[in-house]
Amino acid sequence: MEKAKISAIQLFALMFIFDLGTALIVSYGVTAGKDDWLSILLGMSGGIILFFIYYPVYRKYPDLPLTSYIGEIFGKYIGWIFGFLYCISFLYIAARNVRDFGDLLSSSTLTETPLLVIHTSFVLVICYVLYQGIEVLGRTAEIFLFVLILLGIIGNFFVLVSGDITFQQIRPPLEHGWGPIITTAFPTITTFPFGEMFAFMMLMPYLNKTKLVKKTWLSALICSGLILSWTAFLNMTVLGLDVMERSTFPTLATIGKVSLFDFIERLDAIVVLTLLLTVFFKAAIFLYSAVIGIVDLFKLKNHQQIILPVGIILIFTSMTIASSFSEHLEEGFDASIKFVHIPFFIIIPFLMLVISFIRNYIKKRSNAK
Amino acid sequence: MNSAWDRLVKKSRRPYKTVQHVEETEIMSNNKGIHSSLDENIEQIKDSFGNSGDLIIRSFRMGKPFSHKVASIYINGLTDKEILGTFIIERLMKDVNLSENDDPFSPSQLTTYIKEHILSITNVRDVPDWNKLFLSLLSGETIVLVDGWNHGFACAAQGGDLRAISEPTTESSVRGPKDSFTESLISNTAMIRRRIKSPNLWLETMELGKITQTGVGIMYMKGIVNDKLLTEVKERLSKIKVDEVQGSNTIEEWISDNIWTPWPTIFTTERPDVVAGNLLEGRVVIFVNETPTPLILPATWNQFFQTAEDYYLRWSMSSFLRLLRIFSFLITLLGPSLFIAFLSFHPELIPTPFLINLASQRQSVPFPIVIEALLMEFTFEVLREAGIRMPRPVGQAVSIVGALVLGEAAVSAGIVSSAMVIVVAATAIASFTIPHYAMTDAVRLLRFCMMILSSLLGLYGIGLGLIILVAHTCSIRSFGIPYLAPFSPFILADQKDSILRLPLPFLSERPRLINQLKTKRIEDSQTSSPENDNMKNQDSKKDSYEK
Range in A20-29, A265-274, B511-520 with the lowest mean pLDDT: B511-520
Q: Are B474 and A144 an interchain contact pair (Cβ–Cβ within 8 Å)?
A: no
In sequence order, what DSSP letters do the residues of B163-205 get, joined into one string? PPP---SSS--SSS------S-HHHHHHHHHHH---TTEEEEE
Contact indicator for A198, A349 with CB cutoff of 8 Å: yes
Closest-CA distance, B468 to chain A, in angstroms, reads 7
In sequence order, what DSSP letters do the residues of B398-417 get, joined into one string? HHHIIIIIIIIIHHHTTSS-
Q: Which of A105, A142, A305 sits opposite B489 (nearest CB)?
A: A142
Q: Are A125 and B467 an interchain contact pair (Cβ–Cβ within 8 Å)?
A: yes
Per-residue confidence at B516, pLDDT binned at 50, 70, 90?
A: low
Give A273's contacts in chain B (Cβ within 8 Å). Answer: 459, 463
* Close Cβ partners of B529 (under 8 Å, ≥ 6 residues apart): B505
Q: Which residues of A295-331 are buried (b: 16+ CB within 10 A; e: fewer)?
A: bbbeeeeebbbbbbebbebbbebbbebbeebeebbeb
Q: Are A129 and B484 an interchain contact pair (Cβ–Cβ within 8 Å)?
A: no
Q: How many residues appear in chain A?
A: 369
Q: What is the pLDDT of residues A175-201, one digit of tens each?
A: 788 888 888 888 888 888 888 899 998
Per-residue confidence at B451, pLDDT binned at 50, 70, 90?
A: very high
Closest residue in B to A122 (Cα–Cα): B464
Give B261's contacts in chain A (Cβ within 8 Å). Answer: none
Tell me the C-alpha distance between B430 and B308, whole Å: 19
Closest-CA distance, A177 to chain B, in angstroms, reads 41
Q: Which of B348, B457, B482 sits opposite A139 (nearest CB)?
A: B482
CA distances from B299 to A367, B245, B387, B486 (A): 57, 22, 30, 12
Q: What is the pLDDT of residue B30?
A: 57
Q: Is B337 left (phi over 0), alpha (psi -120 to 50) or beta?
A: alpha
Residue A111 above 60 pLDDT?
A: yes
Closest-CA distance, B467 to chain A, in angstroms, reads 8
**CB neighbours (10 Å) of residue A10?**
26
In chain A, what is the greatest distance between 2 CA atoms, to the nearest angstrom? 81
Residue B525 above 70 pLDDT?
A: no
Give B7's contacts in chain A (Cβ within 8 Å). Answer: none
Q: Are A142 and B457 an interchain contact pair (Cβ–Cβ within 8 Å)?
A: no
Tell me the C-alpha distance between B358 and B420, whole Å: 10
Q: Which of B349, B464, B470 sits opposite A266 (nearest CB)?
A: B349
Residues in A whose CB is inside 8 Å of some CB of B read: 7, 9-10, 105, 109-110, 113, 117-118, 121-122, 125, 128-129, 132-133, 136-137, 139-140, 142-144, 146, 262-266, 268-269, 272-273, 276-277, 280, 301, 305
Q: Which of B349, B461, B475 sits opposite A269 (nearest CB)?
A: B349
Q: What is the pLDDT of residues A257-300, one digit of tens each?
A: 888 877 777 788 888 889 899 999 999 999 999 999 999 999 99
Give B464's contacts in chain A (Cβ within 8 Å). Answer: 121-122, 125, 276
Tell me the C-alpha distance between B235 and B132, whole Å: 24
Per-residue confidence at B23, pLDDT binned at 50, 70, 90?
A: very low
Closest residue in B to A109 (Cα–Cα): B346
Name the nearest CA neighbour of B239 among B398, B33, B17, B397.
B17
In whole numbers, what is the pLDDT of chain A averaged over residues? 88
Give A271's contacts in chain B (Cβ within 8 Å). Answer: none
Average pLDDT over residues B63-86: 83
Closest residue in A to B483 (Cα–Cα): A139
Closest residue in B to A303 (Cα–Cα): B2
Q: What is the pLDDT of residues A58-78, one digit of tens each?
A: 888 888 888 888 888 888 899
Closest-CA distance, A279 to chain B, in angstroms, reads 12
What are residue B22's phi and psi, to 5 degrees?
-120, 135
Tell me the C-alpha distance between B61 and B135, whole Å: 26
| More confident position, B518 or A342 | A342
CATH of domain A8-368: 1.20.1740.10
- For residue A63, how far is the Cα from the chain centroid? 23
Q: Are B471 and A137 an interchain contact pair (Cβ–Cβ within 8 Å)?
A: yes
Give B482's contacts in chain A (Cβ within 8 Å). Answer: 139
Q: What is the pLDDT of residues A25-42, one digit of tens each?
A: 887 777 778 888 888 999
Q: What is the pLDDT of residue B526?
A: 65
Q: What is the pLDDT of residues B287-330, one digit of tens each?
A: 998 899 999 988 999 999 999 889 998 999 999 999 999 999 99
Closest-CA distance, A104 to chain B, in angstroms, reads 12
Give B461's contacts in chain A (Cβ within 8 Å). Answer: 121
Listed ranges A151-160, A264-273, B157-166; the one with the highest mean pLDDT: A151-160
Interface test with A, best of B352, B355, B490, B500 (most A CBs within 10 A): B490
Per-residue confidence at A87, pLDDT binned at 50, 70, 90?
A: very high
Give the bridge partners for B70, in sequence order: B60, B146
Contact indicator for A322, A331 with CB cutoff of 8 Å: yes
Residue B539 above 80 pLDDT?
A: no
Q: Which residues of B38-52 are buried (b: 16+ CB within 10 A; e: fewer)?
A: beebbebbeebbeee
Q: Are B474 and A301 an interchain contact pair (Cβ–Cβ within 8 Å)?
A: no
Q: Are B490 and A9 an interchain contact pair (Cβ–Cβ within 8 Å)?
A: yes
Exposure of B285 in the CB half-sphere (CA atoms within 13 A): 31
Give A128's contacts in chain B (Cβ within 8 Å). Answer: 468, 471
Q: Are B487 and A142 an interchain contact pair (Cβ–Cβ within 8 Å)?
A: yes
- ipTM summary value: 0.92
Q: Are B351 and A265 an interchain contact pair (Cβ–Cβ within 8 Å)?
A: yes
**CB neighbours (10 Å) of residue B393?**
7
Q: What is the pLDDT of residue B95?
A: 64
What is the H or E stretch that residue B7 is in? Answer: helix B2-13
Q: Are A113 and B2 an interchain contact pair (Cβ–Cβ within 8 Å)?
A: no
Give B4's contacts in chain A (Cβ within 8 Å). Answer: none
Q: What is the pLDDT of residue B180?
A: 92
Whether the model clears a pTM of 0.80, i.e. scores above it, the answer is yes
Name the nearest CA neighbour of B322 among B498, B91, B59, B125.
B498
Interface test with A, best of B337, B464, B492 (most A CBs within 10 A): B464
The domain ranges of chain A are 8-368
Q: Which of B5, B354, B458 sits opposite A109 (nearest CB)?
A: B458
**CB–CB contacts below 8 A, A to B:** 94
Closest residue in B to A129 (Cα–Cα): B471
Give the bridge partners for B405, in sequence order: none
Q: Provide the 8-state DSSP code for B25.
A: P
Closest residue in A to B465 (Cα–Cα): A125
Tell me the C-alpha distance between B247 and A203, whole Å: 46
Q: What is the pLDDT of residue B540?
A: 47
Give A121's contacts in chain B (Cβ within 8 Å). Answer: 457, 460-461, 464
Q: What is the pLDDT of residues A328-350, one digit of tens each?
A: 888 887 888 888 888 898 899 99
Dihedral of alpha carbons B424, B430, B434, B437, sign: positive
Average pLDDT over residues A86-94: 93
Q: Are A113 and B457 an interchain contact pair (Cβ–Cβ within 8 Å)?
A: yes
Closest-CA distance, B379 to chain A, in angstroms, reads 30
Tell me the C-alpha distance between B535 and A303, whole Å: 64
Continuous H helices in B433-483: 437-475
What are residue B385's phi and psi, to 5 degrees?
-65, -40
